[in-house]
Structure 1
Amino acid sequence: MSCCSCSAMAFLLKAPSFLPPLNQKLNYTHKSFSPINLQSKFYHASVRNGRWNVPSMTIKAQAAVEGDVLLDEESICVNEESDYGVVCMHHVGILCENLERSLDFYQNVLGLKINEARPHNKLPYRGAWLWVGSEMIHLMELPNPDPLTGRPQHGGRDRHTCIAIRDVSKLKAIFDKAGIAYTLSHSGRPAIFTRDPDANALEFTQVDD
């Protein structure tokens, strides 16, 4: 084995400096939690088919809330080979029966703008791309395999698209003026649910700056 290979193996088998030895308990006291015990388990590096398998690490933490019996266990797995680089949600595809009717709702009621940079003639069906912050909604004029009737009255109990907004009360006033039905969050948080002309459920949840 070459010196480079030996150095690589020594590096991979060395535990990160920020973690304690396996036989040492790490106690961290929070004002509302009892001490948390962290147990770390390392899986040693090995060579398979001429390739290095980078060791993965699993950390399990148990936190007991004072006055409660319930224990919360969380597992965090770090594996560089499976990290394919998630960045953000790019767009959500929404089916519609009539593109003009849907655009009237999404543009004139919700105030969304069309992304003119996206091509509209590259696909074998009509559609439009609408900006939602830095992400998009892709309206697609295609047959809808889902039933339009018999769906839950509250969109929060149906599959739905959630959009973060600044002021739920202003959107509620817009819906009231346009005569659009809606429901509010059952949990009491500032969120409002409605459906587009094709019964696709939409949630608008209020977020802070």
Structure 2
Amino acid sequence: MLPINHIHHIAIICSNYEVSKKFYTEIMGFEILQEVYREQRDSYKLDLKVNGLYQIELFSFPNPPARPSRPEAVGLRHIAFETDDVKLVHQLITQKGVECEPVRIDETTGKEFFFFADPDGLPIEFYEK
């Protein structure tokens, strides 16, 4: 086994920086650590703190190509966040105008979970602790 401590960050490339920045800070509630405009790349990089444990790097680039998510495509499928109260998170996100799938039960673990998508269709899951 490699000597890995934990996941350091998740990098996401968005199609509309301002829309995604608002989604990840106002809907998801992630804290901005640093925001940098990289002139040579015409690109923003926004570092977001997730509950003090992890970091999401949100990037913008001019005209990034679309990456299919559905039907199930090869590659990273989704990101998942753990919560103590799946139904409460579902309610809070829905109240902010985000369309969410219904809460379901994982038939293997018996845990509750649900999915929704970020502004670019990236699947996000909340999963019961």
The offset of 1:175, in angstroms, is 2.4
- 1:193 to partner: Cα distance: 0.9
The residue number in structure 1 matching 2:24 is: 106
User: What residue number does 1:163 align with?
Assistant: 81
Residue 117 of structure 2 corresponds to residue 195 of structure 1: yes
Measured in 2, the distance between the counterparts of 1:180 and 1:130 equals 20
Distance in structure 2 (CA, Å) of the matches to 1:139 and 1:121: 12
Structure 1 residues 99-138: aligned runs within 5 Å: 99-116=17-34, 120-121=36-37, 124=41, 125-133=43-51, 134-138=53-57
Provide structure 1 residue ranges, at least 5 long, that are not aligned to the other structure: 1-82
Cα root mean square deviation, aligned: 2.4
Shift of 1:115: 1.3
Number of paired residues? 117
* TM-score, with length taken from structure 2: 0.77
Q: Name the residue aligned to 1:64.
A: none
Structure 2, gaps ≥5 residues long = none
CA distance 1:176–1:145, change in 2 (3 Å): closer
Choose which of 178, 190, 206 in structure 1 pairs with 2:96.
178
Structure 2 contact 116–124 (Cα < 8 Å) conserved: yes
The structure with more radius of gyration: 1
